[in-house]
Amino acid sequence: MITGGAGFLGSHLSERLLNEGNDVLCVDNFYSGTKDNVSHLVGNPHFELMRHDVTFPLYVEVDEIYNLACPASPIHYQRDPVQTTKTSVHGAINMLGLAKRTKARIFQASTSEVYGDPEVHPQEESYWGRVNPIGIRSCYDEGKRCAETLFFDYYRQHKVEIKVVRIFNTYGPRMHPNDGRVVSNFIVQALRGEDITIYGDGSQTRSFCYVDDLIEGFVRLMASPAGVTGPINIGNPNEFTIKELAEAVLAKVGGKSRLVFNPLPSDDPKQRRPDVTLAKNTLDWQPRVQLDEGLDKTIHYFRNFLKA
């Protein structure tokens, strides 16, 4: 079962697991995911799509749970911050309860946002983070931190078999075109010939992981021995400034878009780069698709998407 299975990441994971011969139950309330992301899978006899909100209990029989349900972009998670926190916290409680009852292995899609605006660079899993608990991003950051707490308490108290991954900035086909994430923003603006909007002076850094690499990390962690719980960083350690990303997109798309600089939102991290040593050593995983190739694939997707 994949919660948030009709989202950007969930749809790619659904595809991967079906291709490996699994039966996949895709659960989504379509708050930020869309049926279009999984419409090509609906005719597959091994795929089932269920509308459900994880803040309510779910009674199904499964042997593996990937808990991806939660809006992950600031535009979506700040639209209803109370519901965002409930999705992370109540959703974790309900899915962990299901895992406990069915004795299923359960995977939590956590986030690099648990590190907040970090004082340690690059970020390794042992770093506890620097997060504002009452800011406009806190509904997501603290919700995900609390979900990790719940996962490890269920592991210690109820012996639930858990896997926790911390996702760093991921991009690729099926990103929501209006989710406010920097890669999709820049590509859509460039393709439309609009000004490319940079928040701050563009010197803040991010590390961009192509979606196929991330899904490979998910599958390897889920298949790892029971004692490998995580949390494990999955991301691409190659670091770029936001301005460098904008210039790379503009060079690939062409056109007459200009770079426009706006004030930086509050609590926006200045640096983000994963230390992926643990993933390399534990899962024999490392990213293979670099930004140049990944941007080409993502631009191709959005070019076709905007024509449709």
Give the domain CATH number at 70: 3.40.50.720
Catalytic-labelled residue, pool 66, 77, 115, 140: 140
Percent of the chain with pLDDT over 90: 88
Q: Per the domain annotation, does 192 fall within a domain?
A: no
Q: Is residue 264 part of a domain?
A: no
Whether the per-residue pLDDT at 47 is higher than 90: the answer is yes
Helix axes 138-158, 81-102, angle to 10 degrees: 20
Q: Check whether the bond before 122 is cis (ω within 30° of 0).
A: yes
pLDDT of 132 above 90: yes
The answer to whether 135 and 266 are in contact (CB under 8 A) is yes
Cα separation of 33 and 71, whole Å? 8
Instruction: Tell me the two tokens of residue 10.
Output: 């969930």
Q: Which amino acid is at 110?
A: S
Residue 63 lies in a domain: yes
Quote the longest CA-to-CA distance of the chain: 58
Q: Is 96 inside a domain boundary?
A: yes
> Is 140 known to be catalytic?
yes
- Summarised one tens digit per residue, pLDDT across range 163-211 is 999 999 999 999 988 887 899 999 999 999 999 999 999 999 999 999 9
Q: How far apart are the first and last CA of the chain?
A: 31
The CA distance from 277 to 288, in Å, is: 15
CA atoms within 13 A on the CB side of 45: 0
Rg (CA), the chain: 19
Indicate if the pLDDT at residue 269 is higher than 80.
no
Judge contact between 85 and 143, C-beta under 8 A: yes
| Segment (H or E) for 77 | helix 74-77
Residue 262 lies in a domain: no
Q: What is the dihedral of CA 87, 88, 93, 98, to 10 degrees?
A: 70
The rounded distance, in Å, linking the Cα atoms of 137 and 268 is 8
Q: Which among 14, 161, 166 is positioned nearest to 95, based on CA atoms?
A: 161
Distance CA 225, CA 229 (A): 9
Per-residue pLDDT, averaged over 237-253, amounts to 95
Q: Look at the chain and report how many structural domains it folds into.
A: 1
pLDDT at position 256 over 90: no
What mean pLDDT value characterizes the chain?
95
Min mean pLDDT across 128-137, 146-155, 268-277 is at 268-277
**Taken in order 100, 32, 171, 180, is the CA torsion positive or negative?**
negative
Structural domain contains residue 204: no
Q: Work out the percent of the chain whose per-residue pLDDT is above 70.
A: 100
Residue 262 has which token pair?
A: 């706006």
CB 259 within 8 A of CB 199: no
In DSSP terms, which residues pair with 232 in a beta bridge?
Answer: 165
DSSP states of 205-261 = EEE-EEHHHHHHHHHHHHTS-TT----EEES---EEEHHHHHHHHHHHH-SS--EEE
Residue 199 belongs to some domain of the structure: no
Ramachandran region of residue 170, left (φ > 0), alpha (ψ -120 to 50) or beta?
A: beta
Residue 92 is assigned to a structural domain of this protein: yes
Question: What is the average per-residue pLDDT within 62-67?
Answer: 98
Domain that holds residue 80: 2-171+209-237+273-288
Q: State residue 287's pLDDT score.
A: 97
